[in-house]
Structure formats: structure tokens, C-alpha cells
């Protein structure tokens, strides 16, 4: 239980780092770390397939895409970086405090949940659900990936042309 709590604390810190840092590359790494920690939490809760999915897609694939895109961006002048940092600190400094306060407040709430919950239909195995029952959604996901590929092609092409 203690190590799980520690894991969750580190996970929240990594997520905060990802959202607060001014460097895109560090933000991408923060997200990858958050995803990897979440995958560990999922493993420990017995959701093996979900954990594998989280690790491969979020921690792996998305990080690769983010790092690639970051490599295409241009460095800001130092003056702008400093101005942005000051403005960001001014606007967002209460965010971590609010987050911690909300977390602590929620831990004291013991709302009784009295809803008659029913077990979803299907045999519960993710593979069966994905390949047999939800083929249509899988087709939709292939299309989303295809659209994403077009996006990368178009934007990378644009950047290359600008460089010329």
C-alpha cells in the first residue's frame, strides 16, 4: 500500500512537471514518465492488457511523435523565454497548491454510492471484445491513425518547405 501511494505521488509530480515545464522536450519526457508509472499502477491492479496498451501507445508511440515534432520547432529568443516564464509563473503558481488541496479535501469525502451497477455484456476478455465484438470501432481507430499519418505528412512537408 505504501509503495502504491508513493507511486501515485511520483505520478502526480511527473504529470505536474510535464504541464508546468517550459521546455517542450522535458514536457514530452514528463508525459512519457507519467504514462510509464500509470502502466505500473495498471500492472499492479491486474489490468495487464490495459497496461501493455498504455505503455506501448502513450509512453512509447506518443512520446516518439512528440519528440519528433519538438525537434522541428525553433528556439525562442532568450528575452521571450524569460518573459514567458515570468508570465506563466504569475498565472499558474497556485495550480499545484489547488491540486493538492483538492486531493486532500476529496480524501475526507466518503460519499455513499448506492447505484445498482450491472456488469457490462461481453465475456470480459479485452481481446475478444476488440477483435470480435468491436470490429467497427477498430476500423474507426485505423482511420484515426490514417488521418494522423496524413497530419504528420502535411505538417512535416510544410516545415520542410518553410526551411527552403
Partner 1 sequence: MSHLLLLVPFLAVVVLNLLPKRARGAALWVSFGVLGLEAAAAFVERFSSIDSSAFAWLESVFGFRLAADHLSGLAMLCAGIVGMVALLVARRTLKDAGEKFFFANLVLVALVGINGIAMVRDLFSLYVFVEVTAIATFILITASRSGAANRDNQVFEGAWKYIILSVIASVLMLTSIGFFLLSAGDITFDAVKGALGAPGSLTWVAMALFLCGLFVKGGLVPFHGWVADAYTAAPAPVSVFMAGIVTKASGIFALLRIVSSTMGSALPGREILLVVGALTIVVGAFLALGQSNMKRMLAYSSVSQMGYIVLALGGDLSLGILAAGLHFFNHAISKSQLFANAAAIEEQLGTLNMDEMGGIGARMPVTAGTTAVATLSIAGLPPLAGFWSKLLIVLALWNAKEYGFAAVAILASLVTLAYFLSLQRRVFFGKTHPKWAHVKEAAPGLLVPVVALALITIALGVGFPFALRVLLGGGA
The Cα–Cα gap between 85 and 91 comes to 10
111 binds partner 1 (CB under 8 A): no
Instruction: Select 9 or 122, whichever has its Cβ closest to partner 1.
Output: 122
* Element containing residue 135 per DSSP (H, E): helix 135-163
Instruction: Select 64 or 153, whichever has its Cβ closest to partner 1.
Output: 153
Instruction: Select 127 or 161, whichever has its Cβ closest to partner 1.
Output: 161
The Cα–Cα gap between 102 and 108 comes to 10
The answer to whether the CB of 27 falls within 8 A of the CB of 21 is yes
Cβ 139 to partner 1 shortest distance, Å: 7
84 binds partner 1 (CB under 8 A): no
Query: Residues with Cβ < 8 Å from 26, sequence gap 6 or more?
Result: 17, 18
- How many chain residues bind partner 1 (CB under 8 A)? 28
Query: Residues with Cβ < 8 Å from 28, sequence gap 6 or more?
Result: 18, 63, 66, 67, 70
78 binds partner 1 (CB under 8 A): no
Instruction: Select 103 or 122, whichever has its Cβ closest to partner 1.
Output: 122
26 binds partner 1 (CB under 8 A): no
The Cα–Cα gap between 84 and 92 comes to 12
**Stretch touching partner 1 by CB under 8 A, among 60-68, 70-78, 94-102, 115-123:** 115-123
Binding site residues, partner 1, CB under 8 A: 115-121, 132, 134-137, 139-141, 143-144, 146-148, 150-151, 153-155, 157-158, 161
Amino acid at each position: 500500500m505504501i509503495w502504491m501511494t508513493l507511486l501515485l505521488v511520483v505520478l502526480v509530480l511527473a504529470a505536474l512537471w510535464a504541464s508546468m515545464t517550459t521546455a517542450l522536450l522535458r514536457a514530452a519526457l514528463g508525459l512519457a514518465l507519467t504514462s510509464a508509472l500509470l502502466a505500473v499502477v495498471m500492472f499492479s491492479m491486474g489490468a495487464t492488457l490495459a497496461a501493455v496498451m498504455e505503455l506501448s501507445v502513450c509512453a512509447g508511440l506518443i512520446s516518439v511523435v512528440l519528440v519528433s515534432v519538438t525537434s522541428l520547432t525553433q528556439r525562442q529568443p532568450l528575452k521571450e523565454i524569460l518573459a514567458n516564464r515570468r508570465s506563466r509563473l504569475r498565472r499558474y503558481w497556485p495550480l499545484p497548491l489547488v491540486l493538492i488541496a483538492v486531493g486532500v479535501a476529496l480524501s475526507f469525502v466518503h460519499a455513499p454510492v448506492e447505484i445498482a451497477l450491472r456488469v457490462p455484456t461481453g465475456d470480459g476478455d479485452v481481446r475478444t471484445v476488440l477483435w470480435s465484438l468491436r470490429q467497427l470501432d477498430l476500423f474507426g481507430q485505423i482511420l484515426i491513425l490514417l488521418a494522423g499519418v496524413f497530419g504528420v505528412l502535411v505538417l512535416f512537408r510544410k516545415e520542410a518547405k518553410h526551411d527552403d
